[in-house]
Every structure is written in C-alpha cells, then in structure tokens.
A and B are shown apart, each in its own frame.
Chain A
C-alpha cells in the first residue's frame, strides 16, 4: 500500500517536473515578450501624446463631424486617438507573439485565427463607423425635413432612420466577418417587417392626428400662398 502510494507520488512529481521543465521557460519568455511589448507601447504612447500634434487630423475629425460622433463633448483630438490605437495595436502584437512562444496546435490556431481575422475586423469596424456617420447625417436630414414640414413625430422619425442605417451597417459588417450571417440577416428582415407593421399600427392608432397633420399641411400650403410675399420678396 505504502509502496503504491510512493510510486504514485513519484510519478506525479516526475510528471509535474517534466511539465514545469517543458512549460516554464516558454511561459517566462512569453511574459518577457509581452512585458517588452507593453513597455514599447507605453513609451510610444507617451511620445505620441507629447510629440504628435496632428492638427490636420484634428481639423479632419472636426470638419467631418467624426470627432463629435465618437465623443459628444467634441474634445476628441488626433494625438490621444492615435496614441491609444498604437498602444493597443502593440499590446495585441505582443500578446500574439507571447502566445506563439508555446508553439502548440491551439496557440498556432489562435494566432492564425487572429491574424486572418484582423483585416476583416478592421473592415467591419470601418463599415460600422461609416454606418454611424451616415446614420447621423441622414438622421439629421430626416429630422430637418420632418420638423420643417410640421411632421408630428420628427425626432422619432429621425431615430428610426438612424436605427435602420446602423442596423444595415451591422448586417453588412457581420457579413464581412462571416459572423452569424443568417442570424443578422434574419433579424434585419424581422426588424424591417416589424417596422412596417409598427408604422401601420401607429398610423391606425393615431389616424386622427395623422389626418390632422395631412389636412394642416394642405391648409399650410394654402396659407403660404397668402403669405408668400413674406418669403418671396427677399
């Protein structure tokens, strides 16, 4: 009994020792690689924050409205944006290098997967960003039209336009990533059909208000003929 116990203990120690001998050096190297990457990332971030002004990029962010889209306060600047982007990019590269040190099937698969996914991830990110920008632009256009026309739910209409455009962007991004394509497409179809139903329901439930708006817009057209000089004699 004691002999058996001793043998089991020795085998366990030997196995642990073998595993430690096999895994500890790569783990140590991985930690060092990741640590170096982290240090480089921190230094680069500091340098970019202090040396890079990026005034042209700031102007681009401001003029296109991307700055206010990403940060509502409008204080978004190019140098912290770039510094953080590079910081996380280096961390990711460091992490992938650290993982690849182990040289196993699983780590190879992870690294290959991430490397192949990254371009698609960037493309999907760009599509979503462009979708949000477009949603903001079209939403404002819809809001202005609805408000100037006296449409009773101008802000809701604007929000609806935005949701639709962002949803389309997400569906396209999911398609690029090959991620739950069917799910997103089905969701989009359900959403579109649901929106049509909802619109019909809203019209049916508020038919009096809609009718009033419609007749008001017609009488407004008539009124505007009476008041046309106010506008047309510029």
Chain B
C-alpha cells in the first residue's frame, strides 16, 4: 500500500473535485516568471484538444519564495483567442499546494501522482514550470497517445542544440538504450505523459526518498515504464527552451543523482536487461520540423582542466572501478592533453563505454563506495563532453545525431562484457534475446 503524503488541504480539494479524466502536473520552485505561461499553455491545451474531458492542473510547489503559486492560480486565457471548434464541457480546475518531504522534483511528482490517482485520472502529463517553448500542442502530444491510443508512457522528443543535454547524449540515452533495448531519445527530458497503471506502479514503490526525490526522478520513471513492460512511445515536441535552474546547485551532485539512479535501477532490473540484445525504434508521434535553437556556450579549457585535475587526484577512487589497462589509457590521454592543444583532446568511444560499464559494475559490487564512485565520475564526464565538443565542432545536427548513434552502437557492442561481469554468460557464450518491440511485455523477476 502506497504511503499517503497529501496534506489535509490537498485531500479536501480532491474530495471537492471528486473526479478528473486528465491531470497536468507542474512541479515548481521559484518559477513565478515562467509558470504563468506554462499554466496558460496547459489550460489552452486541455480546452482545445480535450474539451469533452474533465481536466485538472496541479502545481506541486517546493516552498517558493516568489509569487509562483499566485501566478498559477491567477493565470488567465482568453477562450476567444484559441478559436476553439468545440466548447469545453468542463472548466479546467487549477490547484496549487506545497509538497512535503525531501525538496526536489521527485517529491513534487509524488504529490501530483497521488492526487491524479485519487482523482481517478485516466492520464497524467507532467511538464516543467520553466518552459518557454511549451505550446497547447504539447498537452495533446503527451496525453493523446495515452487517452486514445492505449499507450502507457509517452516520452518527449525534442530538437536540442548539439551541446545541450550532454548527460543524456553521453551517458543516459546510450546506456538506457543498450540496457533495455528501446531507443527513447530523451529519457530524462522532463515532460512526460502516463497512464493510471503506470502511476499506480510508481506510487507502490518504496524508493521515493532516494535520489529519485531529486533529479533522479526522470530516468527512474522512464526505466520503470520500459523495464515493467508498459507500452512506451515518444512525441515530438519541437524545441525545448527553458530557464536554467539554480546556478548555485552542486553540479557533481546533479550528475550523481541521475547516474546513481540509472545504476541503482540496473541492479533492480538486472534480470531484464541481461537478456536483451540490440535495440529497437520506439514509435514517434507528432509532426517533425526543424527549429532554431539557443546556442550553448562551452568552455573547453575548463572542462579539460577538470579532467586533468581528476586524473591527478582521483586515481585512487577510479581504481575501485576501472581496470589497470583503462587507467593506463586515461593516464596516456591526460599526458597528451598536458602538451597538445585543447582542440585535439579526445576520449574514444570504446574507452568511454568501458568506463561507464566499469563504474556501473563497481556501483553494484561496492555499496559502501557508491557515493564516492558516482561523484568521481564528474571529471571523466567533463573530459568526455570536451571530446564530444571537439569531434562535433564542425558538424550539423544530423551529423551530430549520427555521431551519437555511433556511441550508442559501441554501448550495444560492448554489452556482453557488462553481462559477463554481472554474472551472466561469458562473452563467447552470450546468446541473448532480441530487444522487445515497444509495448511488448517483458518478464521481470525482481
């Protein structure tokens, strides 16, 4: 039985509303500047695309010091400007409550999911509160596959600048794809649609008060949906333009939360991913078009400096995870980087894949050193990003996507070594099942 985390006010609001067909969840913390636009887009989306359904917008706030909650409750749209073909049968309700527990996006989602379940919603979409590029169509694209096509989980698909989403491109997407065999391009995109059974699965879990409470939530949601065999699809949402989050946040901690969640889920779903080989496309809805993107400034020297500093200082911790041969290769790259120009800095794909697989294995083998291991990955990650920046400097978006595809294939090619290290068959005896088709249930023994 899932734990009830709702405040008396939230419970009262649910009792007053009684029922909702669809719920839009918006987590927030000091987003007074942008959340009004997000709420208006969500409301317009519900009015325009789901006029026959009873919709509720729920803002789960982390104790904002600005007027975030006021903006949510006061955001207005002019129905005449929407040129609606159908008059909405039900007004869209807006609720805003502070959540309790560990401060973070995951805790905010937990409250939204519990309210959606208690309202009996068929579908729920969550969108970030700092989005500048959200349109009413996003609501349609995130909810329609669930409401009308029987999908359980809708992941976003955006156009992003080549230097944007580097944790996604260098670790989370290739690793998730190689492990679970489904090509979900933005597994930690932040904007998702999901069905009631998926929400109930999330709420039944007991790991809410881990990294999941913070930035680990996105990959946690995606991985559970895929590993539990729910029907998964993607929706093309265009460009993702949003405000940067707290600039004072500990960068290493953010990487730790995301990668720590991926590695923790690898332990839980070991029996699922060890049987999967290769990967398959995941159905993509929406009309694809090219968009202009905000340029991302990159300081190459600073990233290489961080890598070199890590190589000099953190060998002791890296040696817990990496083999002597891998450490020697890293040392050689560092030695060359100290004398060669920054633009020549490279970390080859195979080495990067070995590093990630070795860290994942050590994370499972050494519970006492988990936090140190994941935090020590930061300089290696920055080195890899510097290498990626150098390799893709002159490339256009399509070429960059090809480059990421090569990395993904390296992850898939080297997966048998990971399986062997995790107690599976030896590399030469590895005969796994092909990746399941999207939506095809997979047996989970955990």
Q: Which residues in A have some Cβ–Cβ distance to B below 8 Å?
A: 62-65, 68, 137, 140-141, 143-144, 146-148, 150, 154-155, 220-221, 223-234
Contacts and interface: CB of A to CB of B under 8 A. Distances in A.
Contacts of A231: 251, 254
Given A144-B317, A232-B245, A234-B218, 15 more contacts: A62-B365, A65-B369, A68-B320, A143-B317, A144-B314, A147-B379, A154-B313, A220-B302, A223-B302, A226-B297, A226-B299, A228-B244, A233-B165, A234-B190, A234-B215
Contacts of A148: 252, 306, 375, 378-379
A143 B313 contact: yes
A143 B369 CA distance: 13
B254 A140 contact: no
Contacts of A223: 299, 302
Contacts, number: 99
Contacts of B376: 144
Interface of B: 160, 163-168, 172, 188, 190, 215, 218, 240, 242, 244-245, 247-249, 251-252, 254, 258, 294, 296-299, 302, 306, 309-310, 312-314, 316-317, 320, 365-369, 371-372, 375-376, 378-379, 385
Contacts of A146: 313
A137 B368 CA distance: 9
Nearest to A139: B316
Contacts of A220: 302
A234 B165 contact: yes
A231 B245 CA distance: 9
A68 B362 CA distance: 13
A220 B371 CA distance: 24
Contacts of B316: 140, 143
Contact of A143 (B172, B242, B247, B314): B314
Contacts of A225: 244, 247
B165 A227 contact: no
A178 B233 CA distance: 69
A231 B376 CA distance: 16
A229 B168 CA distance: 13
A32 B144 CA distance: 88
Nearest to A63: B367
Given A144-B317, A147-B314, A230 B309 contact: no
Nearest to B244: A228
B166 A230 contact: yes
A224 B251 contact: yes
Contacts of A154: 309, 313
B317 A234 contact: no
Contacts of A234: 165, 167-168, 172, 188, 190, 215, 218, 254, 258
Contacts of A64: 368
Contact of B366 (A62, A228, A232): A62
A148 B312 CA distance: 12
Contact of A150 (B254, B258, B309): B309
Q: Which 4 A-B pairs have the closest CB atoms?
A: A147-B313, A228-B244, A154-B313, A233-B164
B244 A65 contact: no
A228 B372 CA distance: 23
B366 A144 contact: no
B170 to A, nearest CB: 11
B296 A230 contact: yes
A147 B313 CA distance: 7
Contacts of A226: 297, 299
22 contacts: A62-B365, A63-B365, A143-B314, A143-B317, A144-B252, A144-B376, A146-B313, A147-B314, A148-B252, A148-B306, A148-B375, A155-B312, A155-B313, A223-B299, A227-B298, A229-B244, A229-B297, A230-B163, A230-B164, A233-B240, A234-B168, A234-B190
Contacts of A221: 247-248
A233 B242 CA distance: 8
A150 B379 CA distance: 11
Nearest to B247: A225
Nearest to B374: A144
Contacts of B163: 229-230
A65 B379 contact: no
